[in-house]
Amino acid sequence: MAWETVIGLEIHTQLATNSKLFSGAATAYGAEPNTQACEVDLALPGVLPVMNKEALRMAAMFGLAIGAPVAKHSVFARKNYFYPDLPQGYQISQFDRPTVEKGEINITLGNGETKTIGVTRAHLEQDAGKSLHEDFQGFTGIDLNRSGTPLLEIVSEPDMRSAKEAVAYMKKIHELVQYLGISDGNMAEGSFRCDANVSVRLVGQEEFGTRAEIKNLNSFRFIERAINHEVERQIDIIEAGGEVIQQTRLYDPDKDETRAMRSKEEANDYRYFPDPDLLPLEITAEFLEEVRKILPELPDQKRLRFKQEYSLSDFDAEVLTSSRAMAEYFETVAQGCGDAKQAANWVTGSLAAYLNKQELSISESPVSANDLTGMIKRILDNTISGNIAKQVFEAMAKGEGDADTVIESKGLKQITDSGAIEAIIDEIIANNAGQVEQYRAGKEKLLGFFVGQVMKASRGKANPGQVNQLLKQKLSG
């Protein structure tokens, strides 16, 4: 039987606000437990939430970026359930009136085709605290630092048909929220995680199969593996004559399997109702206009522009727009040196390789965009050759100064004086009489050998173009 997989994702993005969604407490990661929880986050008697406008602005930015209407009128609702790390006994979220309505996003499939994935909605909500089960004999420790941190929950349509598509979509959203500057996207710290709704059906079947929800996936690798595992599990059940039951499952990366957390029957009745402590959010046209003004160029727009403006290949445009910092770096270099091709080659080549090896991000690059610009200028004005430039780059990466400093201190300036180059050539010809004879007898391939010798003798500094030209003259003469 041929099976089709159907996947929808609920992505939880922690918004990069300085303070919490409804309190003034800080949101920084990694503080001592309970040092970033004020009376509101602790849900003391009598406290009240006050909306963080910055979070609203960020949600609106996301809405504009995916072409979704930003609701003029949205409502915070209480989702009621008991859990020790949920101090209020309810989560303030949005239920039937989310701030961001239906939008869409394009992903690129493995075969290069583009597919549009629907985004059902995105809503603001507060995160819970953390329960710490280790280190407390017979007790559970509660850390409320994360309690009240703003999340944007981005809910997709069930539009994805494979784990790979799900990952591509997740990556696309990940890239977008970072581009927008509304999330640091740090998956290890839980700033970007998702729940995957997975079901299978026979190819050609209209209705969806029964779905399972896999909770809290926080790496691209786990998402792919968890979904693939879940798909196999469901197919096995159905092919063995069984029925998939609707339930919530957890992925165990150590065992590479999902297991049941709770079934639909045990699910909470969350008793949603509008939070009477918060007024409905009214979003004005002026507010949206302000947000539109600060909206940065989006990845897809940037890729297109790079291809047109800098004549880049698809591949280069993709790599150079993989993050906003990368794109800014490239543009600084391209505009500074005036040669986009050189800029692209260096950024996607030596720089990318170096950063990769050192496990650094572009913003941590020891070679600044200005340094790289300075170096490429020296290639363009023939002060150094492309080959020598690699040495200069290495030296700059080691912190030995800018290109001019390195060229000066290491004596790497290219030899362009014909007299000096001729002197080296004469010596090489004199020392390699046999090869000269063969060359003159028609073995022109030996030109490479002579070039190599000359470059070696000049320690790479001779201008390769001149060397070629002069060698040909002398050898033929």
Partner 1 sequence: MMHTKSLSELSTALQKGSLSSVELTQHYLDRIEKYDSVLNCFVTVTAEQALNSAKQADVMLAKGEGNALTGIPLGQKDIFCTNGVRTACGSKMLDNFIAPYNATVVEKLNACGMPMLGKLNMDEFAMGSSTESSFYGATKNPWDTARVPGGSSGGSAAAVAARLVPIATATDTGGSIRQPAALCGVTGIKPTYGRVSRWGMIAYASSFDQAGPIAASAEDCALLLGAIAGFDEKDSTSIEHDVPNYTAGLNDSLQGLKIGLPREYFGEGLDPAIASVINAAIDSYKAMGAEIVEISLPNTHLAIPAYYVLAPAECSSNLSRFDGVRYGYRCKNPENLDDMYMRSRGEAFGEEVKRRIMVGTYALSAGYYDAYYLKAQKIRRLISDDFTQAFKQVDVIMGPTTPTTAFKLGEKSNDNISMYLADIYTIALNLAGLPGMSLPVEAVAGLPVGLQIIANHFEEGKLLNVAHQYQQQTAWHQQMPAAFMDIDKG
Q: Rule CB under 8 A: which residues touch partner 1?
A: 39, 42-51, 78, 80, 82, 84, 87-90, 142, 269, 271-273, 276-279
Q: Taking the alpha carbons of 468, 469, 472, 477 in that order, is the dihedral positive or negative?
A: negative
CB of 80 to partner 1, least distance (A): 5
- Total H helices, total E strands in the chain: 16, 15
DSSP state, residue 207: S
Q: Give the type of residue at 367.
A: V
Structure tokens at 199: 């079901």
Query: Measured from the CB atom, is 50 or 109 closer to partner 1?
Result: 50
Query: Measured from the CB atom, is 38 or 319 closer to partner 1?
Result: 38
Helix (H) or strand (E) holding 61: helix 53-65
Asked if 92 contacts 78 with a C-beta cutoff of 8 angstroms, the reply is yes
In our burial notation (b when 16+ CB lie closer than 10 A, e otherwise), range 359-373 reads: eeebeebebebebbb
Query: Measured from the CB atom, is 22 or 179 closer to partner 1?
Result: 22
CB of 275 to partner 1, least distance (A): 8
CB of 146 to partner 1, least distance (A): 15
CB of 282 to partner 1, least distance (A): 12
CB of 276 to partner 1, least distance (A): 4
Query: Measured from the CB atom, is 89 or 448 closer to partner 1?
Result: 89
DSSP state, residue 119: E
Q: Taking the alpha carbons of 114, 119, 125, 131 in that order, is the dihedral positive or negative?
A: negative
Query: Measured from the CB atom, is 276 or 399 closer to partner 1?
Result: 276
CB of 284 to partner 1, least distance (A): 17
Query: Measured from the CB atom, is 271 or 443 closer to partner 1?
Result: 271
CB of 40 to partner 1, least distance (A): 9
DSSP string, 312-330: --HHHHHHHTSSHHHHHHH
Query: Measured from the CB atom, is 43 or 107 closer to partner 1?
Result: 43
CB atoms within 10 A of CB 297: 13
Query: Measured from the CB atom, is 42 or 344 closer to partner 1?
Result: 42
SS3 474: helix
Measure CA 159 to chain center.
22
CB of 101 to partner 1, least distance (A): 22
DSSP string, 112-147: S-EEEEEEEEEEEEE---EEE-SSSTTS-EEE-SST
Structure tokens at 334: 């391209």
Asked if 292 contacts 57 with a C-beta cutoff of 8 angstroms, the reply is no
From CA 19, how far away is CA 14, in angstroms rounded? Answer: 12
CB atoms within 10 A of CB 201: 17
Contacts of 460 (CB under 8 A, 6+ apart): 385, 387, 388, 391, 412
Query: Measured from the CB atom, is 13 or 17 closer to partner 1?
Result: 17
CB of 128 to partner 1, least distance (A): 13
